[in-house]
Amino acid sequence: MTLKKPFPGKTIKPVDDAAEPHGNDLDRYDVLILRELQQDARLSNAELATRIGLSAAPTWRRVKWLEDQGYITGYRAEIDRRKIGLGVLAFVRVDADRNNGIATRALEDAIRKLPEVIACHYISGTGTFELQVMATDLDAFSRFSIEILLNLPNVKDIHTSFSLGEVKAGAALPLTHLQAAKQRSR
């Protein structure tokens, strides 16, 4: 890239607009960054820049922008649950006794405090919440259900299904709709 000298002693580097962060919309570089970091969050900034086709500085600014805007919420190690002794994955539907705001929030707050619950969804249809619960074995899960889950505030009943094997877990989020939306808007 040629540097222009509009005034003696002054050098201005042309700005590559595509390399700079932008308004509220994601562009193709942002989508590429998200895709690459989902595949390997341990990439160095230099390697990430090479993979998406930008230099290191604008890549770093874009990653920082994606973090600041809440698109990237954290970086975590994926751990094999079986290797650390968590052999049971249960899906627990929790039926609430009362469906009012105060009682539901009390149950939500109690669920958030349980490390054995790795995910919780407020669901439609039968039940109020669907939990994913980890335990070392069936005996440990049984104790957790009887001593903890059934004693949470506002719990009427629980219904449990156990994972017999994982077909797909920990997958990256699909991003193809982001790129397709950009192409349609052109």
pLDDT digit string (tens) for 76-110? 988 999 999 999 999 999 999 877 889 999 999 99
Same domain, 120 and 64: no
Query: For residue 23, is pLDDT > 60?
Result: yes
In a domain, 130, yes or no: yes
Between 3-17, 63-77, 82-96, 151-165, the lowest mean confidence (pLDDT) is in 3-17
Between the alpha carbon of residue 6 and those of residues 2, 15, 17, 53, the distances in Å are 13, 15, 20, 29
In a domain, 123, yes or no: yes
The residue from 34, 60, 75 where one domain ends is 75
In a domain, 168, yes or no: no
In terms of residues, how long is the chain? 186
Same domain, 91 and 54: no
Query: For residue 15, is pLDDT > 80?
Result: no
Between 2-11, 36-45, 46-55, the lowest mean confidence (pLDDT) is in 2-11
Same domain, 23 and 66: yes
- What is the pLDDT of the chain when averaged over all its residues? 87
Same domain, 87 and 154: yes
Contact (Cβ atoms closer than 8 angstroms) between residue 29 and residue 18: yes
Which structure tokens are listed for 105? 């929030």
pLDDT band per the 50, 70, 90 thresholds, residue 181: low
Contact (Cβ atoms closer than 8 angstroms) between residue 21 and residue 62: yes
Same domain, 68 and 88: no
Task: Calculate what percentage of the chain has a pLDDT beyond 70.
Answer: 84
Q: Residue 21's closest CA among 57, 62, 59?
A: 62
Q: Which residues contact 105 (CB under 8 A, 6 or more apart)?
A: none
Query: For residue 129, is pLDDT > 50?
Result: yes
**Residue 157 forms beta bridges with which residues?**
95
Same domain, 152 and 91: yes
pLDDT at residue number 120: 98
In a domain, 23, yes or no: yes
Query: For residue 42, is pLDDT > 70?
Result: yes
Q: Higher model confidence: residue 129 or residue 171?
A: 129
**Residue 155 forms beta bridges with which residues?**
96
In a domain, 183, yes or no: no
Query: For residue 2, is pLDDT > 70?
Result: no
Between 43-52, 160-169, 175-184, the lowest mean confidence (pLDDT) is in 175-184
Q: Higher model confidence: residue 170 or residue 143?
A: 143
> Residue holding tokens 């995910």?
119
Same domain, 69 and 23: yes
d(CA 101, CA 109): 12
CATH code where residue 70 lies: 1.10.10.10
In a domain, 13, yes or no: no
Same domain, 42 and 89: no
- In this prediction, residues 8-15 reach a mean pLDDT of 43
Domain span holding position 119: 81-162
Residues 51-83 pLDDT 10s: 999 999 999 999 999 999 999 999 998 899 999
Contact (Cβ atoms closer than 8 angstroms) between residue 143 and residue 88: no
Same domain, 31 and 57: yes
In a domain, 71, yes or no: yes
CATH code where residue 153 lies: 3.30.70.920
Same domain, 117 and 103: yes
SS3 91: strand
The residue from 51, 75, 99 where one domain ends is 75
When divided into structural domains, the chain yields a total of: 2
In a domain, 171, yes or no: no
SS3 58: helix
